[in-house]
């Protein structure tokens, strides 16, 4: 459980800024690829933990992210070939869709395929990712701009309204978290 969310959120804001700088970067080394990988993977882990700990407005947590999905070509994705993702997925059949934030977090946290993708000007454009469960079905292309936007939105979100009611069936509380207008009880999440 996360007690004080500001430390987690501050790191998300730093990661968003770093990713924005990486988008403009011209030279890439093993260390810079590793830095992007760490910031994105740990960022989505933090997003998931903050949502699960009820430290983010419900509406922000419920958002969907625009991604492109590429279906599998039918070849098995293995430890020995995952880094050749362009051969494993049908790159000629992109499908634009939206994915809820928590399932997208799972793709990153449980990633089996993870790679940076670049545009025609050789600028960082997106992250190609697929979880251990989805790897033989589809590959997700998530724009770096969207990743940075999510990290910023979560990093700046401090709900001020918290309501809970005990649910006998679950044996735990149902919780509503949001940013309330004036006149509501104010509790920093």
57-78 b/e (C-beta count within 10 Å ≥ 16 → b):
beebbeeebebebbebeeeebe
- Tell whether 132 and 107 lie within a shared domain: yes
- Tell whether 149 and 182 lie within a shared domain: no
- Tell whether 144 and 185 lie within a shared domain: no
- Tell whether 140 and 189 lie within a shared domain: no
- Tell whether 181 and 169 lie within a shared domain: yes
DSSP string, 72-94: B-SPPP-TTTGGGHHHHB-TTS-
- Tell whether 90 and 178 lie within a shared domain: no
Residue 1 lies in a domain: no
Percent of all residues in the chain with a pLDDT value above 90, rounded to a whole number: 86
pLDDT at res. 11:
98
Question: For the chain, what is the domain count?
Answer: 2
- Tell whether 37 and 85 lie within a shared domain: yes
- Tell whether 22 and 35 lie within a shared domain: yes
pTM, to two decimals: 0.90
Q: Which residue range forms the structural domain that includes residue 173?
A: 159-189
- What tens digit of pLDDT does each residue of 7-21 get? 999 999 999 999 999
- What tens digit of pLDDT does each residue of 38-48 get? 999 999 999 99
pLDDT at res. 162:
85
Task: Check whether 184 has a pLDDT greater than 90.
Answer: no
């Amino acid at each position: 459980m996360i007690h004080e969310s500001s430390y987690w959120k501050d790191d998300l804001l730093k990661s968003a800024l770093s990713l924005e700088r990486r988008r403009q970067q011209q030279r890439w080394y093993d260390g810079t690829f590793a830095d992007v990988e760490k910031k994105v993977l740990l960022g989505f882990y933090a997003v998931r933990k903050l949502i699960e700990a009820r430290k983010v407005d419900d509406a922000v947590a419920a958002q969907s992210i625009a991604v492109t999905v590429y279906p599998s070509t039918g070849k098995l994705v293995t430890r020995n070939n995952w880094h050749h993702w362009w051969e494993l997925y049908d790159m000629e059949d992109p499908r634009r869709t939206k994915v809820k934030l928590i399932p997208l977090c799972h793709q990153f946290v449980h990633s089996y395929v993870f790679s940076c993708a670049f545009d025609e000007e050789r600028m960082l454009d997106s992250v190609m990712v697929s979880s251990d469960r989805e790897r033989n079905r589809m590959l997700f292309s998530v724009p770096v701009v969207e990743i940075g936007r999510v990290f910023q939105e979560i990093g700046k979100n401090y709900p001020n309204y918290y309501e809970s009611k005990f649910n006998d069936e679950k044996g735990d509380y149902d919780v509503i978290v949001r940013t309330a207008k004036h006149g509501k009880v104010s509790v920093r999440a």
